[in-house]
Amino acid sequence: MAIDRESLVKRHNPVLEAADFSSPLTVGNGELCFTADITGMQTLYGTYRRTKMPLCTMAQWGWHTEPVSGEQYAYEQKDVIETEYDFNGRRVTYPVECVPGNERVYHWLRQNPHRMNLMRIGLVWRSCGAGAAQCFEEIGEAEIDAVRQELHLESGMLESRFEAGGMPFFITSCCASGQDTLAFSLQSQALAMSKAAVLIEFPYGSPDMSGADWAQAEKHRTEYVCGEKEEIWRCVFERTLDRDRYRVTLMSEQTAELVKAGEHAFLLLAGSESFAFAVTLERCGLTEKTLKPMLPADAVQSSKEGWKDYWTRTGIIQLHESRDERANELERRIVLSQYLLAANCSGSVPPQETGLTCNSWYGKSHLEMFFWHEAYLPLWGRTDMLEKSLGWYMEHLPQARENASKNGYKGARWPKMVAESAQDSPSPIAPLLIWQQPHIIYMLHMAYLENRNLEFAEKYYILVKETADFMADYAVKNKDGVYELLPPLIPVQECHPPKDTANPAFELEYWVYTLRIAVQWARMLGREVPDGWRDTADHMAPSPVKDGFYLAHSRCPDTYESFNRDHPSMLMAYGMIDSGRMDPEAVRNSLYKVMEVWQEQTLWGWDFAVMAMTAVRLGEPELAVELLLKDTCKNAYIKNGHNRQETRDDLPLYLPGNGSLLLAAAMMAAGYSGCGHPCPGFPDDGNWKVEYEGIHPLPC
């Protein structure tokens, strides 16, 4: 019997009955997100910002660059002083250290471009009887009660009921599916009495978590035109922040009054008890084509149809008939993670770690996290969603080639921390990190295996080839004919000094695994296989072992004594992939040693999925469930479904945790190539009933 998907999804609709400053709810479409407070808007903006969970309106295209000065717009990569290293007898340079005298360049390149908060939309309250703009003020948390807010996951509709000033409000909010349009419907007698108004205001861009600087009114412009005596009420705002421009169009079938309330602030006065309006946002300057703004009813219909299509076509896992008391919580995390990742991370640019909810690391994408954000998609039958961001890799292949060639390497070297431009960011870590290199090969292979479409493989083979060319050239052949990964490098576990790190276990196995995939693709497509790919994969150094335990890298004999923190990356070499070279019993020893000695508070959200996947391959399903749901500070999944990193104020959400959960859940349900057991990640003790549709095994 087919799974009743609508009932499954509705079971986990988030419901709030009071302000929860850690769990605001978001509507979005992968390209645009709007995060709301308990009013369904951004009424309590200041309160949420003070509690380290800003309310933002963010888009994949929403980047801002703050000029260096009045005379100079930007610094370039050549302006940063790079650190010199010896790499196997030759000189290489990377923008790692912040050199005295070069600080401004270093930090400017780290922070620019930054993702920006495009606008705030919220309610304000009339405080006096006369005057339009001057008599409205912010609504405080204490003035709002009788709250019931529900996010309808099946339709993307956010419904918010509450009272303010003793008067009831009902507001619905949503984001259209195929266009960057938000829609709001408000019902309250307070609107007809002009006791309440909608506040629309625009900030300057900022690299901070909120993406907004409200103190620099003179640095940006807001020009607006409102139509008069038209059948459709329309108001257009043209926004200019230095060289960045975007347009915001308000549309309604009802007439409203717009009153200027500040340099970049406006009040929308409805004049009726019910008022619906849509907000379409678009970037200016990249194309002459402009969007056709949507009416609110069309945006609502688009949201409903888009989410219905999503839940109909995506893979699904149902656990609610299980007797194990953990089943409902795991099902909740799976469903909410599917919603959050679709809303935040399924767009045209590799996502930042906080998606489109707020800024982390200036809003820049971390390409080593691309895997945890989106690798689950082919396993859940949604390669089409992954393809949206694959175009970014194709577009920026020239920059990746340049990144490799500047240090004398062949092929394409993918940076770690980037804005939409793909320019590498100076960092004490990012330029030396290497585990993001194989991701694109592995993920493309997953995507190919979903449908075995040769046209897909032909289209993206250039990414496989150029990435494999770099990987083979980066590995160094020693006098014994063995290939090594030598310093300077930083492994997954970033606490290791780059000059002392050699042959990290996971990276060795990932190189072997994905170079073999590259060979397979070349043969499949009738292309010549470069000798370096095969030779490197066949003669890579073995992963380092001591006393029956895998080490972080070959120069780290005290892995479990002095480096028992951050990511236990040696487990990834068997859990996330299987190169066929790892000793299962040594892996088992390593997993149990990590559980015994690791500093648990230093683990990150996706580490628990890695450990669970490792347990699945080792044939320990009870341990897999225990690890995936471990009750600890970095594995918390709060009311809105976000994986909150509770010990870090700068990460109120962490979407790689959600993505890793879905990857692990797929493996636990559908297994992995050659495993031979149904649902290998769930105990066969009669307490679990696992139903799934459209889930593919993890490839080996």
The pLDDT, as a whole number, for residue 227 is: 81
* Burial classification of residue 7, based on how many CB atoms lie within 10 Å of its CB (0-12 exposed, 13-18 middle, 19 or more buried): exposed
Q: Are 167 and 153 in contact (CB under 8 A)?
A: no
List the one residue out of 304, 18, 60 whose CA is nearest residue 172.
304
Contacts of 32 (CB under 8 A, 6+ apart): 57, 58, 59, 60, 175, 180, 181, 182, 281, 356
Q: How far is residue 94 CA from its own chain's centroid?
A: 26
The pLDDT, as a whole number, for residue 230 is: 72
The pLDDT, as a whole number, for residue 128 is: 76
Contacts of 665 (CB under 8 A, 6+ apart): 317, 330, 334, 628, 681
Q: Are 517 and 509 in contact (CB under 8 A)?
A: no
Q: What percent of the chain has pLDDT over 90?
A: 94
Q: Which helix (H) or strand (E) holds 175?
A: strand 167-175
- Taking the model in full, what pTM does it have? 0.97
Structure-block tokens of residue 462: 């250039």
Q: Please state the rounded mean pLDDT for residues 275-302.
A: 89
Q: Say if residue 538's pLDDT is above 80.
A: yes
Structure-block tokens of residue 246: 């975007």
Q: Say if residue 283's pLDDT is above 80.
A: yes
Q: pLDDT band for position 131 (50/70/90)?
A: low
The pLDDT, as a whole number, for residue 421 is: 87
The pLDDT, as a whole number, for residue 290 is: 72
* Burial classification of residue 551, based on how many CB atoms lie within 10 Å of its CB (0-12 exposed, 13-18 middle, 19 or more buried): buried
Task: Give the tens place of pLDDT for each residue, 580-630.
Answer: 999 999 999 999 999 999 999 999 999 999 999 999 999 999 999 999 999
Contacts of 345 (CB under 8 A, 6+ apart): 30, 351, 355, 373, 374, 655, 659
Q: Please state the rounded mean pLDDT for residues 286-303.
A: 85
Q: Letter for the amino acid at 600?
A: E
Q: Which helix (H) or strand (E) holds 247?
A: strand 244-252
Q: Three-state DSSP class for 279? A: strand
Q: Three-state DSSP class for 530? A: coil
Strand residue runs (E) in 90-164: 90-94, 114-115, 120-126, 136-138, 144-152, 157-164
Q: Are 666 and 378 in contact (CB under 8 A)?
A: no
Q: What is the DSSP letter of 433?
A: B
Task: Give the tens place of pLDDT for each residue, 65-120.
Answer: 999 999 999 999 999 999 999 999 999 999 999 999 999 999 999 999 999 999 99
How high is the mean pLDDT of the chain? 96
List the one residue out of 478, 444, 495, 492 whose CA is nearest residue 607.
492
Q: Please state the rounded mean pLDDT for residues 148-152.
A: 98
Q: Say if residue 442's pLDDT is above 80.
A: yes
Q: Say if residue 229's pLDDT is above 70.
A: no
Rounded to whole angstroms, the Cα distance separating 328 from 248 reads: 42
Q: Please state the rounded mean pLDDT for residues 421-427.
A: 93
Q: pLDDT band for position 291 (50/70/90)?
A: confident
Task: Give the tens place of pLDDT for each residue, 362-378.
Answer: 999 999 999 999 999 99
Task: Give the tens place of pLDDT for each residue, 11-70.
Answer: 999 999 999 999 999 999 999 999 999 999 999 999 998 888 999 999 999 999 999 999
Task: Give the tens place of pLDDT for each residue, 391-419.
Answer: 999 999 999 999 999 999 999 999 999 99
Q: Say if residue 177's pLDDT is above 70.
A: yes
Question: Within 10 A of 618 (CB to CB), how many other CB atoms are there?
Answer: 18
Q: Are 320 and 335 in contact (CB under 8 A)?
A: no
Structure-block tokens of residue 411: 């092929």
The pLDDT, as a whole number, for residue 351 is: 97
Q: Please state the rounded mean pLDDT for residues 540-558.
A: 98
